[in-house]
Amino acid sequence: MSRIKNPFSVNRVATASIATGLALVLTACGGGTDSPTPNDVATNTEGQSEELSGEVTLIAHDSFTFPDELIADFEEKTGLTLNVTTTGDGGQLANQLVLTKDAPLADAFFGVDNSFVTGLIEAGAVDPYTPESLGESATEFAADDAGSVTPVDHGYVCFNADDAWFEENGLAAPETLDDLTDEAYRGLTVVMDPTASSPGAAMLFATVAKFGEDGYRDYWTKLLANDTKVVQGWSDAYYVDFSGGGEDGQYPIVVSYNTSPAYTVAEGSDESTTSVLLDTCTRQVEYAGVLAGAKNPAGARAVIDYLVSQDFQDTVAETMYMYPVLPSGAVPDEWQNWAPVPQHSLDLAPDQITANRAAWLDEWSQLAG
Amino acid sequence: MLPVLGWTSTVLIPLAFIGIFFAWPVVTLIVRGFTADGAVDLTGFADVFSRTSTWRVIGQTLLQATLGTVGAVILGLPGAYVVSRLRFRGRAALRAWITVPFVLPTVVVGVAFRSLLGEGGPLAFLDWDQTLPAVVWALVFFNYAVVVRTVGALWERLDPRPVQAARVLGASPLRAFVTVTLPQLRPAIAAAASLVFLFCSTAFGIVMVLGGRRFANLEAEIYRQTTQLLDLRAAAVLSIAQLVIVSIALYVSSRLRTRRETALNLAAVATTSRRIQRADLPAVIVTGATITVLHVLPLASLVARSLRDAQGWGFGNYTALATQGSRDALTSTVWEALATSVRLALAATVIAMIIGLLLVTVLSRRPGKPLARRGIATIDGFVMLPLGVSAVTVGFGLLLTMYQPFGWDIDLRSSGVLIPIAQAVVAVPLVIRLVLPVVRAIDPRLRHAAAVLGASPVRVLATVDWPIAARSVGLATGFAMAASLGEFGATSFLVRPDSVTMPVIIFQLIGRQGAQNYGMALAAAVVLGLVTTIIIMAAERLRDAGAGEF
């Protein structure tokens, strides 16, 4: 399948990072170790070189894919042996890492998102590290000023509409969050329970960003009063209830991703039957990091370096359905055509989410009953 | 009697196993929940129990588990009769097939049920979406086989002559059943009911998907508190509430079981089953209707959907199983995941059978001393607990305890061996409840006679217990395999070294965008169901080959 370069690339500052694998090799020259082969060496944050050897373990959530050929490539470039282990979803992963911080489960982690990451940092579970190669283009994704963790990919949770349904019913599709509380759209929306689903929680945080800590409860009261259906998970909402999911659902508006319309293009058609409400999007960023107390911290840093290398970043969109954090990372053609990136998104700072997450979820639970 | 050493290890090995891999992690997690900055803090109790939601959740757990158990027992009894006392073509396949729901990932079953019940679905007129009836239907769907097979295992061995005598003396079929058969089946019914109650009260995904927020149970609440909020204090309090409910249920069930549990006149299976007669019609009709509504409807909609892809009807979703998904989004193919699942399930089954049968040997004895009797009753209750405690609690507890346990220089958490062990811990209660009713019904005089004639304890087991228990051991093996093949909870909370199991890969597929992934998820679920049917049929055949009838 053909690939195109990321269309929303801001600049090309990151050209230096095009091959972090290469950087791993080159830094050996300035390191001044007595290691005979440059392949065994990498830089750490202080710019000193150190031995790379032995095994390194990466822990990630269930949806993570590290393609086999890239594992081989990583091992060849670094001389390390890489074990990839997986566990639960992103929320489970974050909480397991906090719980086991005195005896970490791995050397490095991937897949804690912006709504959980501050908790991980504050618990002291992370050994701060951001590869220098990442460059300035990634600062907009940073979780904190200290660069404690490294952003690897990002995506958007947005309301989606079934255009075909709206056309058939002679109704204009909604555009904003406020539209969804309008009488005209009564009983047309399905959302996910934020206490059970991570895109569901992301949408709750988006409404806090939009309406403020005081206003979001009113918004949800109105939204739920407008006969909005609440279900427990994304697959449930999209495949059972959403009319555009191809499975005879009855609700033409659903919480999903900005890339979803790229997957509802009928065979032989050049148009998607669904679209994104671009004013209702919120950004999710997934981070990787070195775990405090890692047995092989140098190896862990090499893994992080590799996750933001061009080779790995080129696979992120295809395997994880997220945008690579490198502007030069490849994304599928269909996304270009049918999954426009929102110009602005409804975001909160990660530390704000961590500080209030329990309270907001609790308040939401009370008003949803 | 076995030499003291033999008995001691027969008791201690399984207890140590369950103690280390279940009790220790759970206690550790609960203790962690009640310790704040090194001091014990019990304010969590007042806090959690003052929330109205807590009481709603506890009430729902009790209500759903009770309704699910009653439903499964009432519908399961005719089913047990049909598959254990009647002979007809396809009986073996039917027996295996009703076990399929046991292994189906709840996320897929949830979608299948909701496609039937939700607005636009063929059963939308019932208006059951996100209601209690939907939850109970699903609970009975999952647990019907537990009743049918547990009760059936004893029923097929009951000597038909007492019933025939009652009939000759003028009792109606119903009266003969109520006065003769039912009392004899009581231990097995109580065993099945306690299993179903535990399964229902810890059911997780299906209750969440079908019940929504209003019908959430304790298990779902523990999941939210632990994985979404990392509120270990609330999770610990709720885990204790769960333990209390489960302990009460186990106590009630053991009272029901042991009061009537006596040696029965067990017969060879070949002599107890017969062809279908006119008098059997009510049971046959009830069973047929139950299976149609309970199993055929949701499973047929699942199978039908799995045979549809972008090109229309066909096997496209199945041929895709050999790939790594659209865009190679999976780390392995579904077939590789199936191999991993079968491998893990085999390991888990071996462990569960060893531990389970050791316990059956202990629990089937009836010592004269009251203290020993009470000891046996306590062990019986203790080994059932893993079924009644949240997979989240066990999973997080294992993460806390299995880093270099006992000072060994090995991190068990990420070694991968914990996965079959955790699955075995959950399968052991199943093994016990399936085999024990039959073994307990063996007349102890048979053993005494053998011992008097000079047979060693091992020889008594081999010549008296084994021939009678072999069939239910085969059945238990099949069930243990099935439980492990479909296990998602513990597997998803533990760390898996680059091996994806079937339930996990199905979960990955259904959570990803793109119709092909959805179709593949359903096809993979159908494959998992088929493989389970085959494994259970094979396990039941083994028992016939392994031990002749007596």
| Contact state of A105 with B118 under an 8 Å Cβ cutoff | no
Which backbone phi and psi does B3 adopt, to 5 degrees? -60, 155
Same domain, A107 and A181: no
**Contact between A100 and B403 using a beta-carbon 8 Å cutoff:** yes
pLDDT at A22: 41
Among the listed residues B523, B528, B510, B111, the one whose alpha carbon sits nearest the alpha carbon of residue B316: B523
DSSP letter assigned to residue B407: G
Give the dihedral sign, CA B524/B527/B528/B529: positive
Q: How many CB atoms lie within 10 A of CB B350?
A: 14
Assess whether A77 and A209 both reside in one domain: no
Mark whether A16 and A141 lie in a shared domain: yes
Which pLDDT band, with edges at 50, 70 and 90, does A142 fall under? very high
Contact at CB, B114 and A247, closer than 8 angstroms: no
**Residues B236-251, mean pLDDT to the nearest whole number:** 91
- What are the phi and psi torsion angles at A50 (to 5°)? -150, 165
Contacts of B524 in chain A (CB under 8 A): none
Task: Considering only the C-alpha atoms of chain A, give the largest distance between any 2 of them, rounded to a whole number of Å.
Answer: 74
The tens digit of pLDDT for each residue in B167-190 reads 999 998 889 999 999 999 998 999
Check: CB of residue A305 under 8 Å from CB of residue A143. no
Of A240, A358, A361, the CB nearest to B118: A240
Say yes or no for a CB contact (<8 Å) between A63 and B209: no
The enclosing domain of A54 has a CATH number of 3.40.190.10
Please determine, for residue A29, whether its predicted confidence score (pLDDT) is greater than 80.
Answer: no
Average pLDDT over residues B349-363: 94
Which tokens belong to A58? 């990466």
Q: Which chain B residues contact residue A96 at CB under 8 A?
A: 396, 399, 493
Q: Report CB contact under 8 Å: A257, B518.
A: no
pLDDT at A306: 96
CB contact under 8 A, A99 and B492: no
Average pLDDT of chain A is 85
Please tell me the predicted confidence (pLDDT) of residue B4: 65
Q: Which of B271, B249, B126, B143 is nearest to B206 (CA)?
A: B143
Range name among B7-16, B269-278, B423-432 with the lowest pLDDT average = B269-278
Task: Name the residue with higher pLDDT: A49 or B329.
Answer: B329
pLDDT, one tens digit per residue, over B28-63 is 999 988 887 778 888 888 888 988 888 999 999 999
Residue A19 predicted with pLDDT over 70: no
Model pLDDT, residue A17? 41
- Beta-carbon separation of B403 and A241 below 8 A: no
% of chain A beyond a pLDDT of 90 = 61
Number of domains forming the structure of chain A: 2
CB A147 within 8 A of CB A130: yes
Whether the complex's predicted ipTM is more than 0.90 is answered with no
- Residue A38 — pLDDT band, cuts 50, 70, 90? very low
**Residue A243 has what pLDDT?**
93
Instruction: From B251, B269, B299, select the one nearest B91 (Cα to Cα).
Output: B269
Whether residues A111 and A227 share a domain: the answer is: no
Q: Report the mean per-residue pLDDT for chain B.
A: 86
pLDDT tier at A175 (50, 70, 90 boundaries)? very high
Are residue A7 and residue A29 in the same domain, yes or no? Answer: yes
Q: Which candidate from B120, B212, B228 shows the least CB-CB separation from A248?
A: B120
Residue B327 has pLDDT above 50, yes or no: yes
How many CB atoms neighbour CB A367 within 10 A?
12
- Nearest-angstrom CA–CA distance, A142 and A150: 7
CA distance A238 to chain B (A): 9
A274 in Cβ contact with A257 (< 8 Å): no
Say yes or no: A161 and A150 in one domain. no
Q: Which residues of B touch A230 (CB under 8 A)?
A: 212-213
Assess whether A94 and A228 both reside in one domain. Answer: no
> Does A223 lie in the same domain as A235?
yes
Q: Residue B325's pLDDT band (boundaries 50, 70, 90)?
A: low
* DSSP code, position A143: S
Q: Which residues contact A9 (CB under 8 A, 6 or more apart)?
A: A137, A327, A328
Q: Is the pLDDT of residue B242 over 50?
A: yes
User: Between chains, do B498 and A85 touch, taking CB under 8 Å as contact?
Assistant: yes
Judge if A358 and A232 occupy the same domain: yes
Paired residues of A112 in beta bridges: A287
Structural domains present in chain B: 4-304+315-546 (1.10.3720.10)
Express each pLDDT in A88-109 by its tens digit: 888 889 989 998 999 999 999 9
Q: Is the dihedral of CA A75, A79, A85, A89 positive or negative?
A: negative
Indicate the pLDDT class of residue B143, thresholds 50, 70 and 90: very high
**Which candidate, A199, A275, A272, A265, places its Cα nearest to that of A236?**
A199
Would the pLDDT of A55 be above 60? yes
Select the residue of B208, B311, B507 nearest A62 (Cβ to Cβ): B507
Return all residues near B311 (Cβ < 8 A) that are at least 6 apart: A267
Give the CA angle between residues B398, B346, B348 to the nearest 5°: 25
Whole-angstrom distance, CA of residue B541 vs CA of residue B537: 6
The alpha carbon of residue A220 and the mean position of all alpha carbons in its chain are separated, in whole angstroms, by 25
Clarify whether residues A216 and A346 are in a common domain: yes
Let me know whether A334 and A291 are in one domain.
yes
Residue A2 to residues A15, A130, A261, B105, B537, Cα–Cα distance (Å): 21, 31, 19, 35, 48
Q: Which domain holds residue A314?
A: 3-154+284-338
> What count of other Cβ atoms lies within 10 Å of the Cβ of residue A255?
27
| B105 has pLDDT over 80 | no
SS3 A324: strand
pLDDT category at B507 given cuts 50, 70, 90 is confident
Quote the tokens at residue A293. 């107390």
DSSP one-letter code for A288: E
What tokens does A193 get?
């329970």
- The amino acid occupying position B532 is T
Clarify whether residues A266 and A117 are in a common domain. no
Mean pLDDT of A122-143: 90
**Measured between beta carbons, which residues in chain B are less than 8 angstroms from residue A63?**
508, 511-512
Give the DSSP per-residue string, B116-185: HHSTTSTTGGG--TTSHHHHHHHHHHHHHHHHHHHHHHHHTTB-SHHHHHHHHTT--HHHHIIIIIHHHH
For residues A31 and A35, give the distance between their C-alpha atoms in angstroms, rounded to a whole number.
10
| Cα–Cα dist A308/A138, whole Å | 10
Q: Do B328 and A319 touch (CB under 8 A)?
A: yes
* Dist. CA A125–CA A105, nearest whole Å: 11
Residue of A239, A274, A334 to mutate for B, most B C-beta atoms under 10 A = A239
